Amino acid sequence: MSESEPNLLYSDIEQELRAGVRELLAARCPWQSVLGRVENDAAEVTDLALWRELAAMGVAGLPIAEELGGAGATWRESSMVAEELGRAVAPVPFLGSAVLAASALTAVDADEEVRSLVSDLAEGRRTATLAVPLSTAPGSAFPALVRAGDRTLTGTVPGVVDALNADVLVVPAVGADGPGLHLVAAEETVRTPVVSLDLTRPLTEVRLAGAPAVAVASGDRAVGAVESALVAGAALLSAEQLGVAEWALRTTVDHLKERTQFGRPLGSFQALKHRLADLWVSISQARAVVRNAAGAVASGSPDAPLAAALAQAFVSGVAVTAAEEAVQMHGGIGFTWEHPVHLYLKRAKSASIALGTADRHRGRIAELVDLPPAP
């Protein structure tokens, strides 16, 4: 391993963890049950019982220190778990609670309230989320949708991920003395479900009308905490997108081996083979990019913002292509509600907008590596 490049491989421990998570998801979260849940009311899509089981395996607290109830591992292991959750389009509050909220909270000075919340998140006793529109990209201006008053918050935040079932909201807000980060009990807010494109990832509009809040960071610290949460979010979301893409490729390959037309398996037609080969090539590349981003975020490298932007600029497109190709190559069956491929298509396309589009991330890259636009 060179000093300058992160380790892009999976450790033996990660592979063991992967096997455990995959086994649990296969038993508890087959696509038939995911499809069943998305037909429920918005409030029942998220599988909190499954989330508690995953948390009991340590999945929710991987990058959190052991003294705070976490597993004392890193974002690398977390990223590997995200791959499996993507592969299963699991409807659990991983992104909101275990990534965005946990990352923001571990970046602030931990008082007793924050420590107890972080340890509850790690152990799955409570869930939280970062109250920003899910489309917010790293490198954006500090969110100013919420005004901070005297220990109260007022404002409306559209499209918040994993908020409907959350216990606590971590809310960026701007007050008289500038940016701040606050904790709000979710029950003190008005939460309206949004009909979301990704059925397995419910979004919520959160309205705060003088909601009681506890400030946990202010000024640069608050700005830094939100930014690091968005960077970690982008890196981890790319891992989930890799899992989605791998599922789409695997499922399509299996289908093309089985399905016969014109007297031969579809998979023997070169026009289809070459498209799948191209997909496999981009997925191999996505894997390297995802590992690179996870490694950079895990080590707190100064390259983390670039690695995360690269991951979203590259992997989100790979996942969307994989899911779109899967629908096409499944033919008519791929266009039906009964086949799970639409769950993956919706997850992939939504995720390509979440935390910034590829275009936004390329813009960030241009700033970070000094490739300025035309005058």
Partner 1 sequence: MTTTNGAPPDAADLRKRVADLVAAHDPATTEQTEFLAARFDAGLAWVHFPPGAGGLGAPRALQTVVDAEFERLGSVPTHRDGLSIGLGMAAPTIVAFGTEQQRRRFLKPLYTGEEVWCQLFSEPGAGSDLAAVGTRAVRDGDSWVVDGQKVWTSMAHRARWAILLARTDPDVPKHRGLTYFVCDMTAPGVDVRPLRQLTGEAEFNEVYLDGVRLPDSLRLGEVGAGWKVAQTTLMNERVSIGGRPEPREGGLVGVVSELWRTRPELRTRGLHEELLKLWVAAEAARLTKERLRQQMAVGQPGPEGSAAKLSFAELNQRISGLELELLGTEGLAYDDWTFRRPEGQDPLRRGAGFHYLRTRGNSIEGGTSEILRTIIAERVLGLPAEPRVDKNVAWKDLPR
- How many angstroms separate the CA atoms of 36 and 42, rounded? 12
Q: Site mask, partner 1, residues 336-375, x = CB under 8 A?
A: --------------------------xx-xx--xxxxxxx
Q: Least distance in Å: CB of 287 to partner 1?
A: 7
Helix ranges (H only) for 66-203 are 75-87, 102-106, 112-123
Q: How far is the CB of 142 from partner 1 (least distance, A)?
A: 25
Contact mark string toward partner 1, 269..308, x via CB under 8 A: xx--xx-xxx-xx--xxxxxx-xx----------------
**CA-only gyration radius of the chain, Å:** 20
Residues 303-322 that bind partner 1 (CB under 8 A): 310, 313-314
Instruction: Report residue 243 as tokens.
Output: 């899992």
Residues in contact with partner 1, counted by CB under 8 A, come to a total of 46
Q: 202: Cβ–Cβ under 8 A, 6 or more apart, which residues? A: 42, 45, 46, 91, 161, 162, 164, 193, 194, 196
3-state secondary structure of 67: helix
Q: Report in angstroms how near the CB of residue 371 gets to partner 1 at its nearest.
A: 6
Q: Strand pairing partners for 281?
A: none
In sequence order, what are the residues at sequence separation of 6 or more whose Cβ sits closer than 8 angstroms to the Cβ of residue 33?
none
Q: Token pair of 340, please?
A: 């799970």
Binding test (CB under 8 A) with partner 1, winner from 54, 229, 253, 326: 253
Minimum distance from residue 96 beta carbon to partner 1 (Å): 27
Strand intervals (E) in 189-250? 190-194, 203-212, 214-218
Residue 64 engages partner 1 in binding (rule: CB under 8 A): no
**Binding flag, residue 265, partner 1 (CB under 8 A):** yes
What distance in Å separates the CA atoms of residue 268 and residue 270, rounded to the nearest whole number? 6
Residue 274 Cβ, how far from partner 1 at the closest point, in Å? 4
Task: Restricting to residues 5-44, name those near partner 1 by CB under 8 A.
Answer: 5, 7-9
Q: Nearest approach, Cβ of 89 to partner 1 (angstroms)?
A: 22
Residues in contact with partner 1 by CB under 8 A are 1-2, 4-5, 7-9, 249, 253, 256-257, 264-265, 267-270, 273-274, 276-278, 280-281, 284-289, 291-292, 310, 313-314, 362-363, 365-366, 369-375
